[in-house]
Amino acid sequence: MTNLRIGSRGSALALWQAEHVKAALESRGHGVSIEVITTTGDRTQGRLEPVGGKGAFLKEIEEALLAGEVDLAVHSLKDVPVELPEGLRLCAMLPRADPRDALVSASGASLAGLPPGARVGTTSLRRRAQLLAARPDLAIADLRGNVDTRLRRLQEGAFDAIVIATAGITRLGRAAEITERLEPSVVLPAPGQGAIALECRDGDAAIAEAVAPLADGPTTAAVTAERALLAGLGGGCNVPLGAFAEAEGGALWLRALVARVDGRVVVRAEGRGGPPEALGRNVADELLRRGAGALLAT
């Protein structure tokens, strides 16, 4: 059996995920400890784009991995860029939780039932664009912070509603506060949303062998297609982009979109079947053929 050191951010959600992986590994006889690492993303109060986007939540953890200070990193896959640092790889995808976004409203109103001009909190450009495409009358305002902070801001009256990942609020035991789970036909999730990814050093056979039983095949196939699409569009584009793959009728069905931030232009494409990576690339190519390149260029 192996003794593993997990590197994790210190947020409640990150620690839940790290503890979840720790318990799964310990149940298989491994010794596991968790090292809390503060990342650039944790120290940033404003928008993440100037400091590397969501990848800012990984930088210091990956540095610790490469330095041999930890053996395994536990990430929300939606935060993991397509291009990883040399010497690191994703070694397992855990079973995916509900990938949908969730609306939490102060009044209990659904997205359709929010009053005109309702103030909705989210910092995600992807969510902003799709919410405005569905409800152009909404007032979308930035909302940063962890899950508890966002819910507290709603309770304090700063917003009429907020949009948050269903997986995150559920993992923290607050699913009862969800007003509406937004279907992918209304708001497509981020690539990899709801999935927990494990990252390790290339060539570390002992760690790879230890975590292999945690990997989930259907999740791996779905997120591989989503991330291949992301790669086909140029990686970590700071534009509204959604992608979601799911099994349907024995084949993988991938839906994707690229939008303008104000939601007035939304380019959509989808595809079915074939190897996940090829499916992702094909749908990315279709988005580009339909005009997504102009949006990505802006």
Q: 181-203 burial string, b = 16+ CB within 10 Å, else e?
A: ebebebbbbbbbbbbbbbbbbee
Q: What is the pLDDT of residue 127?
A: 97
**C-alpha torsion 8→11→15→16, nearest 10:** -140
In angstroms, the CA 95 to CA 71 distance is 21
Q: Is 177 helix (H, G, I), strand (E, B) or coil?
A: helix
**202 and 61, same domain (yes or no):** yes
> Is 24 exposed, middle or buried, given 0-12, 13-18 or 19+ CB atoms closer than 10 A?
middle
Phi and psi angles of residue 243, each rounded to the nearest 5 degrees, phi first: -155, 140
What's 44's DSSP letter? -
7/82 same-domain check: yes
> What is the per-residue DSSP string for 50-83?
GGTGGGGGTHHHHHHHHTTS-SEEEEEGGGS-SS
Q: Residue written as tokens 């996940």?
A: 276
**Interatomic CA distance for residues 168 and 57, integer angstroms:** 16
What's the pLDDT at 56? 77
Same domain? 132 vs 254:
no
Q: Which of 122, 157, 182 is the last residue of a domain?
A: 182
First to last CA, the chain: 51
Q: What is the pLDDT of residue 50?
A: 44
H or E stretch covering 284: helix 276-289
* 165 assigned to some structural domain: yes
Helix (H, G, I), strand (E, B), or coil: what is residue 31? strand
Output the domain CATH number for residue 106. 3.40.190.10
DSSP state for residue 155 in the 8-state scheme: H
Does residue 68 fall inside a structural domain?
yes
Dihedral pair phi/psi, residue 256, rounded to 5°: -150, 160
**Structure pTM?**
0.92
Helix (H, G, I), strand (E, B) or coil at 253: strand
Residues 13 and 85 in one domain: yes
Based on the structure, what is the number of domains in the chain? 3
* Structural domain contains residue 187: no
What is the domain extent for residue 170? 101-182
Residue 246 belongs to a domain with what CATH number? Answer: 3.30.160.40
Rounded Cα gap, residues 293 and 186, in angstroms? 22
State whether 139 and 279 are in the same domain: no
Question: What is residue 47's predicted lDDT score, i.e. its pLDDT?
Answer: 47
Catalytic residue among 79, 101, 160, 204: 79
Query: Looking at the structure, do residues 206 and 64 belong to the same domain, yes or no?
Result: yes
Local structure of 164: helix, strand or coil: strand
Size of the chain, expressed as the number of residues it contains: 298
Q: Is 137 a catalytic site residue?
A: no
pLDDT of residue 264: 96
pLDDT at 297: 87
d(CA 229, CA 277): 8
Mean pLDDT by 10 residues, the chain (298 residues): 88 95 97 91 53 68 96 95 95 97 97 98 96 98 90 96 97 97 97 98 95 98 98 82 95 97 97 97 98 90
Amino acid type, 51? V
CA–CA separation, 288 and 298 (whole Å)? 14
CA-CA distance, 287 to 226, in Å (whole number)?
13
Q: Burial of 1 by CB count in 10 Å (0-12 exposed, 13-18 middle, 19+ buried)?
A: exposed
Q: Tell me: do 256 and 174 sit in the same domain.
A: no
